[in-house]
Chain A
C-alpha cells in the first residue's frame, strides 16, 4: 500500500526555536497533503491543507505565521513551527492523497514535538 513517512519521529527543542517537520509520500505523488495536530487522548484537529506549488489553506484559528507550510514537490510537504512555545507541544500528523483517489488519505506515523 501507499506509504507516507514523517521526519523526525520525535523532537525536543527549547522555547523560542523553530522546528521543521517533513512529510513525504514514498511511492506516489500527492498534490494535496494535510497537516493535523493531536493532543493527548484527543482527536485529530485539521490545521491546514497543503497544495503543491501554491499557498497552504489554514483552518480557522490556526496561525499561518506560526505554522509555516511549504509543499515544494509532489512528494514533500514541510511544516515549520516557528518560535515554538511549550503550548505547541503536540503530536503532528500529515496525510496525503493519491492523485485521482480523492477519498483515500494515507497517514504518516506522526511527529511528537516537545518544547521545553
Chain B
C-alpha cells in the first residue's frame, strides 16, 4: 500500500542550526511528494513539492529532493529561524479519479530556540 514515514518529534534546535527531517515513503506507481507546514493556530500550508524522481522542491530556504532509489524526501534547511517553529508533514499523492488523494506522515513538531 501507500504510506509515509517521517521522523518522530519533537525536534528542538537553536536558531541558525541546520535542520533535517527525514521522510521515506512506500507507494505504487509514481507519486508526487510534498512537505506541508502547520503553524500554531493555523491551517496546513503547502511548503514545497516534487513531482518526479530527482526533482528538488524548495521554498523559504527549505529544500527536499525526490530520491526514488532510497524512496526518500528529506526536508532540509541550512539555518533555521524561530519563525520556523511549526509542525511539518511529509505527504504523497496518489491518483484518485480526476483528483489526487494525499496521504500524510505523522508529522514532526519543530521548536526553534532563540
Interface residues of A (CB under 8 A from B): 4, 31-32, 34, 41-44, 46, 49, 51, 93, 95, 97, 102-110
Contact = CB atoms under 8 A, between A and B. Distances in A.
Q: Is chain A's interface secondary structure helix, strand, loop, or mixed overall?
A: strand
Contact of B101 (A31, A41, A46, A104): A46
B43 A34 contact: no
A111 to B, nearest CB: 10
Contact of A108 (B43, B89, B98, B104): B43
A110 B38 CA distance: 11
A41 B109 contact: yes
10 contacts: A34-B101, A44-B89, A44-B104, A49-B96, A49-B101, A95-B102, A102-B95, A103-B49, A107-B36, A107-B43
A103 B100 contact: yes
A49 B89 CA distance: 20
A101 to B, nearest CB: 9
Nearest to A36: B104
Contacts of A102: 95, 98-100
A104 B102 CA distance: 10
Contacts of B42: 109
